[in-house]
Amino acid sequence: MKLRLVALSASSIILAAWPATMALGADGDTGDNDYRPPSYCTASASPAKVKAGGSTTVTVKTTPDSKTTLTITSKSSSATKTATAGTDGNASFPLTLKEAGDYSLSALGENGEACALSVVAEKPTKTVSEKKTESTSESTELALTGSSTTPYLITAAALMATGISAVVLVWRRRES
């Protein structure tokens, strides 16, 4: 019985003292503690949606005074730009997106921080005068036909009146 009590006491002391010993050893004074907090990266585009041929500015927030590389990828091409972040950690990349489509942007800082963003370049809409001068089969707007919704509203009202009168007729036949 005494042996069990001694073993239980020893294991309790070890279990209680071990976390405290580990916490004291992790104060940064030892040579084997090279923990670095993770670096964070955020990216934003202003504006996030542009017309094809339009410009946007991508801002990447990363480690201050560090070199940041931005890779721009679309369906047809890929390009890389480099900028140095200022003392506030912001690196700016002015971009002109010539083709319509989705662009994937990935930023990589020199300290290993990485972030991603996507920007959409929409097809420019054509005005009515441009449509008349160009003879293309592709159209982004509906044609002006001069139609109105009045015939549809009259038909809907007639169908509703027919349905209501059928329900009233069946209801009266049941009562009589």
Q: Is residue 9 part of a domain?
A: no
Full-model pTM: 0.47
Give the tokens for residue 135.
């003879």
Q: Is residue 76 part of a domain?
A: yes
66, 85 in Cβ contact below 8 A? Answer: yes
For residue 100, give the nearest of 76, 135, 67, 82 by alpha carbon.
76
Q: Scan for tokens 């083709």, then name that residue.
A: 99
Q: Number of structural domains, the chain? A: 1
Give the up-direction half-sphere exposure of residue 2: CA atoms within 13 A in the CB hemisphere.
0
d(C-alpha 139, C-alpha 22), whole Å: 70
Q: Scan for tokens 């140095």, then name that residue.
A: 84
- Per-residue pLDDT at 162: 92
Mean pLDDT by 10 residues, the chain (176 residues): 73 68 56 56 80 83 82 83 82 83 82 79 69 52 66 89 91 86
Q: Is residue 158 part of a domain?
A: no
Q: Is residue 144 part of a domain?
A: no
Q: Is residue 26 part of a domain?
A: no
> Residue 47, preceding bond cis, omega within 30 degrees?
yes
Q: Maximum distance among all alpha carbons in the chain?
A: 104
For residue 111, give the nearest of 62, 164, 144, 72 by alpha carbon.
62
Q: Is residue 91 part of a domain?
A: yes
State the amino acid at position 36 in one-letter form.
R
Q: What is the CATH number of the domain that holds 73?
A: 2.60.40.230
Range of the domain at 82: 42-122
State which H helix or E strand residue 151 sits in: helix 150-175
Q: Is residue 166 part of a domain?
A: no
Who contacts 95 (Cβ-Cβ below 8 Å, separation ≥6)? 55, 56, 57, 58, 72, 81, 119
Q: Is residue 69 part of a domain?
A: yes
Q: Scan for tokens 């059928």, then name that residue.
A: 166
